[in-house]
Amino acid sequence: MARGGKIRLVMKIPFSRFPRAAFFRALGIPLAPLIAPLILALTATPGFAADPFGVLEAVPPVTGLQAAPTPCQPADLAQPLSLAEVVDLALCNNPQTRQGWASARFQAAQVGVAQAAFLPNISADVSVNRQRNESTRNNSPYTQRGGGVDLFWVLFDFGARAANLENARQLFTAAAYTRDAAVQSVFLAAVQAFFQRQAAAAALDAARLSEKAALESLNAAEARYNVGVTTPADRLQARTAHAQAVLNRIGAEGALKTTQGMLANVIGIDPTRPLDLTPLPPAAPDAGFEADLGRLIEEARAQRPDLAAAEAQFRAAEANVDAARAAHLPTLSLGVGAGRSQIVGQPFYDSSNIGLTLNIPLFSGFATTYRVHAAEAQADLQAARREEIRLRVALDVWNAHADLATATQSVKTAADLLASATESERVAAGRYRAGVGSILDLLTAQAALASARQQRIQADTSWFVSRTALAQAMGALDAGLLPTLSSGER
């Protein structure tokens, strides 16, 4: 009876991570003539360890969205920030944009994984065995060592790898468009936060003017009451109006703090950091944005990145169907190996092999069949999602166009209202000071003026935001829009 025991140490190392020829020279094993040229050619490729297929470099830039001449430069937050600087800070610092870039790079790497399936797998192994066998060598333990290299290469698979590669490429395209959509969303959020912060500051200034006017009216009423030319009711009405103006100013201060925090969040800084913004002129829109809505919708469908992403996801699902169907089909593979082993103290033993393997799937418990059904259902799902987004694009353009048309008319009307209310308040104040007008007329005129100021601020803000929202709905939101917004023109 033979008894034996052994201690074995085996290391299996991917050849791409190992010094190529040094391993074999250390063991005295020559590279097999059949695979040595291929190994050296593959591993000597420039950028072999980093990005040999160049897929990461293929991640496209987001065109047209750099807001500043030199994007992602540190901004001096102690100085007033322009709209372009706010947008640039948001695009560079907001986590949503970084997530979009990371997703695009991930899918680019998946393209590299799919391309790698067309190349052979090469691995090297080293083994050292300490053995003892009672039936040989006088029960003395002995050491056996060896090493080798193996190559496995799928030569033909009826399109499975090509389908997987197409799937990866379409998912990469979808990720790039999804990133563009996320960037446009951040762009729009930055513009909205900028104008809301501006509107809140203007509303606070208007509230302070109204409070000042109410205080002047209260002082006038007090003076007239003290000399006996007015009733206590006038003084009480003036006090009530002044208290209401103070409350409005306190509310405006709170709203300003809220918009300050929203703006800080969008540009990726803490809300405790003080921020100042450059002033903007009033909106001065015209009707130049008006156009045939059908043409605008078709342009939007050609430009919207979310619809392009949905189209790419549908094509990826179709490629996945082809890959699932190819799993039913045979594969033809090449295998090559070479190695050398030695029992210490005895001559080397060399071995090599080469062969073709035809693998024919016969039965897998219907798993492949249901994988095909699942892939087909996924393709139908992506087709429905694509149609959903296609319809949503039309609705987005319709709503944004309607909002901008309304905002354009509101700006003009609010300007007329403010001019009229200002003159009315001036006349009422003069009449009251002259003793021929009532306190009720004055307070009514002041309230109308305060409301007109707020409506003008809201109309201007709505126009700026609606103008940006229409560009975003069209898929045309880019840095070229910022000078238009900053000047208050169309």
Q: Is residue 193 part of a domain?
A: yes
Q: What is the C-alpha to C-alpha distance for residues 392 and 350, in angstroms, rounded to an integer?
A: 68
Residue 77, in any domain of the structure: yes
Q: How many CA atoms lie within 13 A of 210 on its CB side?
A: 30
pLDDT by residue (tens digit) across 80-98?
A: 888 888 998 898 888 888 8
Place of tokens 């699942």: 374
For the chain, percent of residues with pLDDT exceeding 90: 51
Q: Is the pLDDT of residue 382 over 50?
A: yes
Confidence of residue 135 (pLDDT cuts 50, 70, 90): low
Residue 395 burial by Cβ neighbours in a 10 Å radius (0-12, 13-18, 19+):
exposed
Residue indicated by tokens 């990145």: 305
Q: Which residues does residue 129 pair with via DSSP β-bridges, in sequence order?
A: 8, 144
Higher-scoring residue by pLDDT: 462, 133: 462
Out of 9-18, 254-263, 310-319, 390-399, which region has the weakest mean confidence (pLDDT)?
A: 9-18
User: Is the pLDDT at 389 greater than 80, yes or no?
Assistant: yes
* DSSP 8-state symbol, 81: B
Position 66 scores a pLDDT of: 54
Cα(14)–Cα(39) distance, integer angstroms: 12
CATH code for position 76: 1.20.1600.10
For residue 135, give both structure tokens.
């039936």
Residue 203 has pLDDT above 90, yes or no: yes
Residue 7: pLDDT over 70: no
Q: Compute the 3-state secondary structure of the chain and give helix, strand, coil in percent, each to the nearest 5.
A: 60, 15, 25
Number of domains the chain contains: 1
Please indicate, yes or no, if residue 19 is contained in any of the structural domains: no
The rounded distance, in Å, linking the Cα atoms of 170 and 327 is 20
The boundaries of the domain holding residue 91 are 70-120+160-330+365-487
The answer, yes or no, to whether residue 107 has pLDDT greater than 70, is yes
How does DSSP assign 323-385, residue by residue? Answer: HHHHTTS-EEEEEEEEEEEEETTS-EEEEEEEEEEEE-----TTHHHHHHHHHHHHHHHHHHH
Position 107 in a domain: yes
Residues with Cβ within 8 Å of residue 166, at least 6 apart in sequence: 315, 316, 319, 322
Whole-number Cα distances in Å, 408 to 134, 300, 403, 413, 461: 99, 21, 9, 9, 11
When pLDDT is cut at 50, 70 and 90, the band that residue 10 belongs to is very low
324 belongs to a structural domain: yes
Q: Which residues of 294-305 are buried (b: 16+ CB within 10 A; e: fewer)?
A: eebbeebbeebb
Task: Output Rg (C-alpha) for the chain, integer angstroms.
Answer: 38
Question: How far, in Å, CA of 369 to CA of 358, rounded?
Answer: 21
pLDDT for 330: 93
Q: Is 256 part of any domain?
A: yes
Answer yes or no: is pLDDT of 45 > 60: no
Per-residue pLDDT, 39: 56
Using the predicted structure, report yes or no on whether residue 252 has a pLDDT greater than 90.
yes
Q: Model pTM?
A: 0.79
Amino acid 140: pLDDT: 73
Q: Kindly state the tokens that stand for 173.
A: 């395209």
Tokens representing 146? 């060896």
Q: Is residue 242 part of a domain?
A: yes
Q: Note the pLDDT tens digit of each residue in 185-199.
A: 999 999 999 999 999
Given a contact cutoff of 8 angstroms between Cβ atoms, the answer to whether 418 and 209 are in contact is no
Q: pLDDT digit string (tens) for 209-248?
A: 999 999 999 998 888 888 887 788 888 999 999 999 999 9
Residue 227 tokens read as 């000399």
The stretch 334-350 carries a mean pLDDT of 85
Lowest mean pLDDT among 29-33, 70-74, 99-103, 428-432: 29-33
Write 350-358 long-range contacts (CB < 8 A, 24+).
350/29, 351/148, 352/32, 352/34, 354/34, 356/155, 356/332, 357/332, 357/333, 358/330, 358/331, 358/332
Instruction: Give the pLDDT of residue 16.
Output: 43
- Show the tokens assigned to 143: 């050491």
8-state DSSP, 48: T
Residue 137 within a domain: no
The secondary structure of 224-283 as a DSSP string is HHHTTSS-HHHHHHHHHHHHHHHHHHHHHHHHHHHHHHHHHHHTTS-TTS---B---PPP
CA distance 119 to 153: 7
125 HSE (CA, 13 A, CB side): 16
